[in-house]
Amino acid sequence: MDHLTSRFRRNKRESPTTPTSQDPSPASATTADTKPALPSLSITTTPLTTPPGSSNGSHSLLPKSPLRSFNQFRAAHKRARSPAPVRTNMPSIMSSLSPVDTPTGAPTTPTERAKGPQIPPFLKLSEASVEYRFQELAWRERLRSQQGLQNPSPNFQFARVLSPETKILDRYANIQPWANNRVRLPVPEGKLDYINASPIASPSPLRPNTLPCFNYIAMQGPKFNTVEHTWRMVAQLKSPVVIVMLTDTHENFMEKCYPYFPGSTQAQDIEVGQMNEFGDGFRARVECVSQEERQDGAIQMRKLNLHVDGRGDSTVWHLLYRRWPDFGVPKVEDYDSFFELMKLSRDLSASTDNPRIIHCSAGVGRTGTFITLETLMREIDEGAMDDVDPELNDDDDDLVFRTVNHLREQRRTMVQSDSQYALIYKVLRRQWLERHGLLNDTENERAPKRLEVYHDPFVEHNG
């Protein structure tokens, strides 16, 4: 990671060959002594040969897109016309961002620069530049998927899950974990260990040696036939477990997530293992101990008790956020409740090593946006972005681009829509200006309640 941080000082992946398996947290070792024989939750990963976020990490596997060569020309001629979006019929995604390159009050002269930090270049990008970078991410995503279909090696980093038995377990046909970066259920040998969930490691891009890595499990919203799989997975994590749910169970008259948890203290408990699907006698019960609303109902916080027969009880904190519309973004007035959600999830978690479970409907759009924002907002809060070189202005120097690209290397389509990608720049810009006392009225404009997204007839869209 040293070469990564050096690009952000003031002065200016070959694919692996063998997958490894690791536990998501120290819980596996802790619980093994107290619980009866049951296969441990395992995570199949293919480690990268370069540190996450490396500016060259993707190019070892992916050829350059046509847009990259154009971007290099544009970088050499900074006043050349910005590239047109790849999708000519895609509406603007950046109407809520200020088009100016320099915020009011930001230091611009050498004397002013000496007095304080400058806003990082990637936080003052034009609308066209942000759209271009989202299209570059989409290009890399297509190449990974293409290589996953063409490369027959099961050890290939972007190998696809090809088992036909998994299809009925997926909420969306086009959203699956990479075969070599997925959570494996603790089930007897020979049984299907699949769950649509991916381990996500999101380290600090600027201070990896001093700030702990954020660890998550990005999961699809459970279906009726995967509720028991979800609780089997949760039972292997260290108590207390935190689950962040970023979708309502139904939106626009469509099921986005099956109600896999008891909604209140009066609700019927969830019984797990009655049908003995895996033949190992695993039985568990989930009950709601308490429920409260925070931030005027934006957050529903439930304390759940997960009792596993013969193994004891675990506390599960379930945080349901209700102000993030499907295919849209939170409104500016809801930012505080969203930030409170992040803080609550961190404070309630057992440790940074114990992964928090984050899910929306598909487990990629809102989920990826949450993880990206939490990762990069910490860089602002810790002052790490104060040292970003103001002359760095390429997509590989863009922390948003690189963080999202790194997440997509671990789970497909993370930060799914252009409006979600634009939101990340907007929130980070606002946070940086607020930290340095430069926030003005132009940064407080209302975000659109709902942004329309381009619909590709060959791709299912799910937030």
Select the highest-mean-pLDDT range: 1-10, 14-23, 153-162, 291-300: 291-300
pLDDT at 77 over 50: no
Catalytic residue, chosen from 213, 257, 288, 360, is 360
**Tens of pLDDT along 14-39?**
444 434 444 443 333 344 344 444 44
Contacts within 8 Å (CB) and 24+ apart, 74-81: 75/393, 75/394
pLDDT at 273 over 90: yes
pLDDT at 76 over 70: no
Lowest mean pLDDT among 109-123, 155-169, 287-301: 109-123
pLDDT at 249 over 60: yes
The full set of domain ranges for the chain reads: 2-444
User: What pLDDT, on the 0 to 100 scale, is given for residue 433?
Assistant: 94
Q: Where are the alpha helices (DSSP H) in 349-410?
A: 365-381, 399-410
- Confirm or reject CATH 3.90.190.10 for domain 2-444, answering yes or no: yes
Spatial CA neighbour of 194 closest among 162, 157, 152: 162
User: What pLDDT, on the 0 to 100 scale, is given for residue 329?
Assistant: 87
- What is the pLDDT of the chain when averaged over all its residues? 79
User: What pLDDT, on the 0 to 100 scale, is given for residue 7?
Assistant: 43
Q: How confident is residue 84, by pLDDT bands cut at 50, 70 and 90?
A: very low
Lowest mean pLDDT among 131-135, 146-150, 264-268, 277-281: 146-150
For residue 292, list its beta bridge partners.
301
User: What pLDDT, on the 0 to 100 scale, is given for residue 66?
Assistant: 53
CA count, 13 A, side-chain hemisphere, 1: 13
pLDDT at 422 over 50: yes
Q: Which residue has the higher pLDDT, 129 or 8?
A: 129
Q: How confident is residue 115, by pLDDT bands cut at 50, 70 and 90?
A: low
- Contact call for residues 376 and 423 (beta carbons, < 8 A): no
**Tens of pLDDT along 337-395?**
999 999 999 999 978 889 999 999 999 999 999 999 999 999 999 999 998 887 776 76
Whether 257 is a known active-site residue: answer: no
- Residues in the chain, overall count: 463
Give the pTM. 0.77
Q: How confident is residue 441, by pLDDT bands cut at 50, 70 and 90?
A: low
Spatial CA neighbour of 61 closest among 157, 198, 160: 157
**Tens of pLDDT along 290-321?**
999 999 999 999 999 999 999 999 999 999 99
First to last CA, the chain: 32
- Other CB atoms within a 10 A radius of the CB of residue 114 amount to 8
Structure tokens at 268: 């019927």
